[in-house]
Structure formats: C-alpha cells, structure tokens
Homo-oligomer: A and B are copies of this chain.
C-alpha cells in the first residue's frame, strides 16, 4: 500500500506543483489556492504522504514534543495525571516524551535534563521531582518553558501548578478537631518537597489555633515502607493517637494496613485522613477520607500554561493553585452535623 517514507517532493511531482506548495498545504495558516490544495491533497492521499515531524522541527524550531519528568509511578496519582496529560496534549498536537528520574536526588536529574535538551523538547513538565535550581535556570536560558506539576519551588522563577496544599492541610485539621480528636498525629509528606511542607504547615496552624499540639509529627517521605514503619511505631505505644493525618493517599493506605494489622478499625478506633483522592481511595478495602486534589483541573491548567508559554513565547512564570475539597468516607469519624 503505502510507500516507505514518502516525501513532499514526490507529492509535488505527482501533483504537478512545487515542493513549497506541498509544504504550504500542510502548514496551517499558509496560503494556497483551493485548486492547489485539492491537487496536493489528492496526490498526498494516493501516496500516503504525511509530513515528517522531525524535519519540520529542525527548521521551525518546534518539535511538538513535551518532556515529562516523572518517577514514583507506584503512587496512583501520577499514572492518572500522566494519562490525562497525554490525552490533553495529544488533542492539541503535542506528545509526551518520558524521562524517568530518581525521585528526590539531584544526582540523576542532572543527566536527565541534559537528555531532555538533546531532544529539543518544546517544553518541560516536571512532576514529582525536585529540579535543582541550576536546571530550571538552564532551561530558562535556552528559552524552554518549564512547568512544575504538583510541586513548587521558591528559589527559582518557574511556573507551577499545585492544589491549595496549605489550605488543604487546614481543612483536614479543622475536620479532625471538629470530630473531637485530641491526639492527632501527622505522618507528613516528604519535607524536602513543597507539598509536604505546605500541607503540614496548614495542619499545624489550625491545631495551634485550636489550642492543641500534635500528638506526633514524622516525615513519611511519601514512601509506603516509611509510612508503614511510622504507623507501627505510633500504634505500638501504650498511648495511641486517635487520628492520623497522612501526607498523601499512597502512604495512608499503608497506615490503614498497619492499623488493621494492630487489630484496630480505621474510622472507629482511629481516624485516618489522606491527601489526593486517587481512585483506590474510593475502593471498598480502603474507603479513605481524603482531601481531593482536583487532578483534571490541575492538568488543564498545566497544559494551558505550558502551551501558552510555548506558542506565545510568553515566559512570565505563573503560579496556579487550585482548591480541593475534603471527600468524606469511612476511614475517619464525621463530626456531628458536619457539612463540608
């Protein structure tokens, strides 16, 4: 059927026009007469021609490739975001080139960024990675737009999209305090990340205002094993917390497993609240009360932001924050007459 790699020159020959004309027909916004368009489309169809994206990228300086730096795909939040991101970008004519990075260390990220540049990506979306300032700076230097997804970075002028993490931490604390809990522990998100710190900060503010001090605060590092270990310790003592706010759902699942392992019932003997609302949170086995991160809207904003920066060359960094709501389920006691 189709020839192997048809070029615009072959189409031109068949259509009886110049190669430039063919190019124009396939370039949105370029001018060509209706007659030319018709001839070219017909010939292209017959030959199975499609423009070579790479060649186009070379001359136009636009690869229509977005580099996505991710890790931590065991946390369901990221695959979900990845799929949404990819779909949204595909519709707009872009595709995602994946770069997997060691999560929290600057070591590997350096070479990842090198790679990224080699591919002439039009933009970079960094999810769940702490990019060193150097690298954000370097991307900027090269005029490559960067958007941090679900993470922010204070020391660099870079765009980011997050949920309202601090407010979210506050909401969880208010809910827990209203529920009459008096020994509230926090297994925090990684304190090397903005999300981990912000959620904790909001949580502590409200606790303080309520005249409580936290039963315990530990860094769960966003890792299942660490959170599990923390939970076991917390539950192993004579005096136990009556509620645990966990820095994300992924860790909260471990905490619930640990609670049951100790013979206790989440939502009855001890309340657990997570952060994210990944699909698994709503499944029967966990039924997790959690602060929802509105991932669809976060993705929309991220895509809008990066494409705007690419297409208009407007690189003014923007910080977008989207508010999420508490989703009530069975893992935490609901205060009398509570209406979110």
Interface string of A90-131 (1 = CB under 8 A from B): 100001111110000000000000110111100000000000
Cβ of A87: which chain B residues have Cβ within 8 Å of it? Answer: 100
**Contacting pair B90 A80 (CB below 8 A):** no
A73/B80 in contact, CB under 8 A: yes
Query: How often does this chain occur in the complex, in copies?
Result: 2
**What is the minimal beta-carbon distance from A23 to any residue of chain B, in angstroms?**
15
The answer for the CA separation of A55 and B56 in the assembled complex, in Å, is 11
Give the shortest distance, in Å, between A45 (CB) and chain B (any CB).
13
How extensive is the interface on chain A, given as a class?
A: 35 or more
The one of B55, B58, B97 that contacts A95, using a Cβ cutoff of 8 Å: B97
Q: Is A238 part of the binding interface, using a Cβ–Cβ cutoff of 8 Å?
A: no
B118 touches A100 (CB 8 A): no
Cβ B73 vs Cβ A83 within 8 A: yes
Is A190 an interface residue, CB under 8 A from the partner? no
A215 contacts the other chain (Cβ, under 8 Å)?
A: no
Q: Which residue of B lies closest to A51 (CB)?
A: B118
- Let me know if A37 is at the binding interface, CB within 8 A: no
Could you tell me if B100 and A1 are in contact, using CB atoms closer than 8 angstroms? no
Question: Is there contact, CB below 8 Å, between B53 and A55?
Answer: no
Min Cβ gap A322→B in Å is 22
Listed from nearest, the 7 A-B pairs whose CB atoms lie closest are A257-B284, A285-B285, A79-B79, A73-B79, A86-B100, A73-B83, A96-B98
Task: Using A1-B138, A74-B279 as known contacts, list a sample of 12 further A-B pairs with CB atoms less than 8 Å apart, ordered by residue number in A.
Answer: A52-B120, A68-B98, A74-B76, A74-B79, A86-B98, A86-B99, A86-B100, A96-B97, A253-B285, A254-B283, A256-B285, A261-B284
